[in-house]
């Protein structure tokens, strides 16, 4: 499995950032390119649940993800991509998202991906894929900063 991790610090309370990002069905509220996000089922897989989200993207493609774990106390959750544009049935992709408290008024968002790649994929292609995921997560977190700033009272 390959691993990519991106983190960004924000001048906001961790609880405020988690309130915006921690809802499994709430991607449309802060993630660019999401047109709709519907959840079926309830609870994370690690607690016997079956929650799944169906995310419709701006290109009209649909991504299906299962909620693997969720912990409101540590402001973290993980999800598995079940179906997505460009994914084959043997692809494994697990995302982990958490909001960490740094000090009063500041937090860090950490977003990690663990994913499989075909064994015969050349290393340069693996690096391109790692870079693409890193850039995507960085873009999403930069956008999250914009959404948080816009939500601040004037």
Query: Nearest to residue 6, comparing CAs of 122, 105, 98?
Result: 98
Looking at residue 87, its pLDDT comes to 81
Say which residues have a Cβ less than 8 Å from residue 91's Cβ, sequence separation at least 6: 81, 115, 116
Looking at residue 118, its pLDDT comes to 84
Q: 145: helix, coil or strand?
A: helix
2-151 CATH: 3.30.530.20
Task: Render 87-124 in DSSP notation, one character per residue.
Answer: --TT--EEEEEEEEEEETTEEEEEEEEEE---TTS-HH
The low-confidence residues of the chain, meaning pLDDT below 70, are 154
Measured at the CA of 74, the angle between CA 72 and CA 79, to 5 degrees, comes to 70
Looking at residue 117, its pLDDT comes to 87
Which tokens belong to 105?
Answer: 């008024």
């Amino acid at each position: 499995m390959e691993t990519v991790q991106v983190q960004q610090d924000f001048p906001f309370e961790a609880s405020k950032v988690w309130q915006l990002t921690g809802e499994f069905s709430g991607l449309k509220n802060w993630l660019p390119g999401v047109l709709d996000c519907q959840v079926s089922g309830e609870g994370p897989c690690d607690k016997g649940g079956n929650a799944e989200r169906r995310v419709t993207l701006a290109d009209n493609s649909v991504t299906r993800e299962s909620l693997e774990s969720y912990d409101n106390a540590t402001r973290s959750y993980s999800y598995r991509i079940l179906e997505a544009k460009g994914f084959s049935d043997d692809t494994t992709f697990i995302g982990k998202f958490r909001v960490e408290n740094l000090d009063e008024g500041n937090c860090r968002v950490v977003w990690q991906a663990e994913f499989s790649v075909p064994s015969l994929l050349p290393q340069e292609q693996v690096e391109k894929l790692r870079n693409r995921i890193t850039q995507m997560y960085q873009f999403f977190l930069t956008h999250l900063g914009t959404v948080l700033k816009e939500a601040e009272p004037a």
